[in-house]
Amino acid sequence: MDLDLGLDPGLSALRPLGGFSVLRTSRPPSPPRRPAAGAPLAHAYALGHGNALAPAHALGDGTAAGPEDRVPEAGVPVEADPLDFRVRKVAAALGTEETRVAASVAHQGLAARLWSVTLACAALYGAVPGLDPRLLCWDPDATAPDDLWLAEVHPLPGDAATVADVVLTAHLAPLTAAVRTRYGVAAGLLWGNAASALAGAGRELDRWARRHGRTDTATRARSLTADLFAHPLLAGTGALAAAPDISFRRRSCCLYYRVPGAGVCGDCCFSRPPGRPRSSPGARSG
């Protein structure tokens, strides 16, 4: 390992942050009576699993889901199709029958994990681990931090351009393509999810750093977050205020308001849940 970049093999500096910011570098034990899980994320992004929805109907931009948009009752083994397994698990947890709602929430959750780990490393170490999707493994049946583990730690510089390559190019671009293709969720909505997850990760890191008197880390978190929002994939997704606190208002909706009993998120483009006009077959979610 390149010691000049300062990453320790266990990424121990992340542990005090807890939750979404922790990344295991050794495989966690599998729960009893469950097959060992933890396929490389590259497998989850693969498009060879087929289209999970046909036909696709719009959600969140003025049209409602029809019967075709309901989550199918039949499950799939986690090893066979990790992305669809996660979407179905999220749907069950939320109590929603709308597949694209669950797909959007699952997409944003994984984006938040990836941003939280990478931003924290960049701010605390000044370096980031290379999160090659072939080496970063995912257990879609687990929660943070047991959902991800990195087979090998290869340090890279902690600048915004490298962070963008590690997260946006290597992970969120193929993840977004997979969710868009398989579940009919619009690209603009999904990139809004990525931006919202980035702002949330930056905000939590900034707050943690200031609580612990780490003003240098807080400044670094705000600066990195602002620089990353200038990336072409995130520019135009919403309005960011990086100082004094990281706040964000997105220009799209993640569809969470369609979960039974839920309202709109704090950064939503809607001030209140929109109505549910009649469906428009063939439209896309947005």
pLDDT tens sequence across 125-183: 999 999 999 999 999 999 999 999 999 999 999 999 999 999 999 999 999 999 999 99
Q: Per-residue pLDDT for 285 more than 50?
A: no
Whole-number pLDDT of residue 255: 93
Which pair of structure tokens corresponds to residue 181?
Answer: 């293709």
Q: Per-residue pLDDT for 273 more than 90?
A: no
Q: Per-residue pLDDT for 102 more than 50?
A: yes
pTM equals: 0.85
Residue 141 and residue 89 in contact, taking contact as beta carbons nearer than 8 Å: yes
Percentage of the chain surpassing pLDDT 70? Answer: 80
Which pair of structure tokens corresponds to residue 34?
Answer: 């469950």
Residue 67 pLDDT grade (very low, low, confident, very high; cuts 50, 70, 90): very low
* Rounded Cα gap, residues 100 and 116, in angstroms: 24
Whole-number pLDDT of residue 54: 37
Sign of CA dihedral 178, 181, 184, 189: positive
Residue 56 pLDDT grade (very low, low, confident, very high; cuts 50, 70, 90): very low
Whole-number pLDDT of residue 238: 93
Which pair of structure tokens corresponds to residue 190?
Answer: 């999904």
Which pair of structure tokens corresponds to residue 120?
Answer: 């924290």
Mean pLDDT of 102-106: 97
The SS3 assignment for 7 reads: coil
Which pair of structure tokens corresponds to residue 94?
Answer: 């939320």
Residue 58 and residue 99 in contact, taking contact as beta carbons nearer than 8 Å: no
Residue 253: HSE in the Cβ half-sphere, 13 Å Cα cutoff? 23
- Nearest one of 117, 109, 143, 144 to 205, comparing CA atoms: 117
Q: Per-residue pLDDT for 21 more than 80?
A: yes
The alpha carbon of 265 is separated from its chain's Cα centroid by a whole number of angstroms, namely 16
Residue 52 pLDDT grade (very low, low, confident, very high; cuts 50, 70, 90): low
Beta-carbon contacts of 185 under 8 Å, excluding residues fewer than 6 positions away, are 59, 100, 103, 104, 107, 179, 255, 285
